Amino acid sequence: MLLLGHLRVEVVLTTTLDAAQRAAIVRLCTAAFAQDFGALFDLVPVTASHMLVRLDDILIGHTAWMPRWLQPGEQPPLRTAYVDAVATLPAYQGRGIGSAMMQRLADQIQDYELGGLATSRVAFYERLGWELWRGPLSARTSQGSQRTPNEQVMILRLPKTPPHLDLDLPLSVEWRAGSVW
């Protein structure tokens, strides 16, 4: 299906978003996921980058990524572009916008060692080269490791990814309030 109008893609930092832009992102994510995303900017650090996709002046797509440290087994933690809030306005879903955003995101995160995200839409991301982590998942906390068995985490291998990364190893991430993964 063709999109009429002018499609624009912009990559910006959280620190450059004004209140109206933040509110538009929250509305988009709330509509796309049919759940309240009002706390999104409590989870997304100021160091995050955002990809905004607009059709004319309407925000129709968004994704954010931020640096996090994923640690496979006892290996050193990997500097990871952790992806969150991948959303397309419902009226524009199924037109390739999400796929195009994720392909463009892959180009944007080449300096990281790994791409990572949590999702229930495994098939969508597998089509785009992401791999499901098969090993057990946990969060690193000040009290030690805390298992997170109900999560599905996917990774994207990048040029700086260790060559023999074993997806069956345990994988941990640093704790964050609100949404660990």
pLDDT tens-digit profile of 68-124?
A: 999 999 999 999 999 999 999 999 999 999 999 999 999 999 999 999 999 999 999
Q: Is the pLDDT of residue 47 over 70?
A: yes
Q: How far is CA 169 from CA 31, 125, 165, in A?
A: 36, 21, 9
- What confidence tens digit (pLDDT) does each residue in 12-31 have? 999 999 999 999 999 999 99
Quick one: 68 exposed, middle or buried, by C-beta within 10 A (0-12, 13-18, 19+)? buried
Mean pLDDT rounded to a whole number for the chain: 94
Cα(82)–Cα(64) distance, integer angstroms: 8
Residue type, 159: P
pLDDT the model gives residue 30: 98
- What confidence tens digit (pLDDT) does each residue in 145-154 have? 999 999 999 9
Q: Which residue has the tokens 């509509």?
A: 31
Q: Which residue has the tokens 């690193």?
A: 140
Q: In the structure encoding, which two tokens stand for residue 141, read together? A: 């906390």
Q: Is the pTM of this model over 0.75?
A: yes
